[in-house]
C-alpha cells in the first residue's frame, strides 16, 4: 500500500488514474458511492468548511472561478476517470471536475507516510487538490498533457508532471496566506501550522518516499517533486499569497 500511496499521493494524472482504476476495480472491490452534500460527521464538516474557504480565496484570485465538486467516500467509488479507490490517496479528476477524498487517508498519511496529522496538514491536502482544479480551469493541465505527448522520453514527461504538482503545492500556500482574510479570521492558520504543512510536504517528496521504500533515489523518475522542492513551493505560495509567483514551468 505504501508504494501505491507514495507514488500517487496528491494529484494523479487522469491517464494514470484511469489505468489504476481498472486494476483496482476488479471483482471483489468493495465500493461505496461517494457522498455529495452537507456532511454529517466531524471530518466531513472539516472538509466542507475548508473547501468553502478555498473556494472563497480562488473566487477572489481567479476570474470566472467555478468551484469543483467534492466527493467523500470510503473504500471505492466511481469517478469520471474510472474507479477510484482509497489506496490511490486523495485525487482530482479533471473529466468530472471533482475532488475525491477518502477520509481514512488522514490516518494512513500519519501512520504509513510519517506525515503530520494536524488539521492544517489535512487542509493542505485538500488545497493541493483544489489547486489541480485551478489548473484545469486555466488550461494548464491540458497544456501539460500536450507537452508530455511531445516529450522525448519518460524522464522529460516526468518533468512536466513534477512542475504541475509543485504548482499545486504553491497554490495551496496561496490559499493558506489568504484563508483568514476571506473568512474574517474564522479560518486562520495558527502559529506552527505552516510548519505542519511543510512536514507533510517533506514526507511526501519523491526522494523521501523512494528512500522509505528501500530503493535508490532516482530523480528522473520523480513525478511530484523532491521533499525540498515541495516545501519550497508551498513556502513561496504562502509568503506571497499571489498565484502569479507559482510559475513552476520555467525550468521544466
Where are the chain's structural domains?
2-245
CB 9 within 8 A of CB 224: yes
* Three-class SS state of 96: coil
pLDDT digits (tens, 9 = 90+) for 34-89: 444 444 577 788 899 999 999 999 999 999 999 999 998 887 888 999 888 776 77
| Cα(252)–Cα(248) distance, integer angstroms | 7
Identify which of 23-32, 47-56, 105-114 has the greatest average pLDDT.
Answer: 47-56
CB burial of 176-198 (b: ≥16 within 10 Å; e: otherwise) equals bbbbeebeeeebebeeebbebbb
Beta strands in 58-190 (DSSP E): 69-73, 76-79, 82-85, 91-93, 98-102
pLDDT at position 106 over 80: no
Q: 181: which 3 cell numbers? A: 482574510
| Cα(150)–Cα(128) distance, integer angstroms | 26
pTM (two decimals): 0.76
Amino acid at each position: 500500500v505504501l508504494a501505491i500511496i507514495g507514488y500517487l499521493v496528491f494529484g494523479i494524472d487522469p491517464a494514470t488514474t484511469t489505468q489504476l482504476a481498472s486494476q483496482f476495480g476488479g471483482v471483489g472491490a468493495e465500493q461505496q458511492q461517494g457522498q455529495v452534500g452537507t456532511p454529517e460527521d466531524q471530518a466531513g464538516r472539516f472538509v466542507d468548511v475548508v473547501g468553502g474557504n478555498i473556494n472563497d480565496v480562488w473566487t477572489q484570485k481567479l476570474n470566472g472561478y467555478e468551484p469543483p465538486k467534492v466527493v467523500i467516500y470510503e473504500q471505492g467509488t466511481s469517478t469520471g476517470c474510472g474507479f477510484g479507490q482509497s489506496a490511490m490517496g486523495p485525487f482530482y479528476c479533471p473529466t468530472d471536475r471533482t475532488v475525491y477524498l477518502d477520509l481514512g487517508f488522514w490516518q494512513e498519511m500519519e501512520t504509513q507516510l510519517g506525515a503530520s496529522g494536524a488539521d492544517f496538514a489535512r487542509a493542505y491536502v485538500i488545497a493541493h487538490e483544489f489547486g489541480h482544479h485551478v489548473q484545469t480551469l486555466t488550461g494548464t493541465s491540458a497544456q501539460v498533457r500536450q507537452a508530455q505527448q511531445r516529450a522525448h522520453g519518460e524522464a522529460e514527461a516526468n518533468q512536466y508532471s513534477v512542475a504541475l504538482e509543485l504548482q499545486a503545492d504553491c497554490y495551496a500556500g496561496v490559499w493558506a496566506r489568504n484563508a483568514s482574510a476571506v473568512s474574517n479570521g474564522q479560518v486562520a492558520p495558527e502559529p506552527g501550522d505552516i510548519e505542519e504543512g511543510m512536514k507533510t510536504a517533506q514526507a511526501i517528496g519523491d526522494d523521501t518516499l523512494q528512500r522509505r521504500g528501500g530503493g535508490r533515489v532516482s530523480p528522473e523518475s520523480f513525478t511530484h517533486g523532491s521533499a525540498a522542492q515541495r516545501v519550497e513551493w508551498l513556502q513561496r505560495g504562502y509568503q506571497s499569497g499571489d498565484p502569479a509567483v507559482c510559475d513552476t514551468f520555467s525550468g521544466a
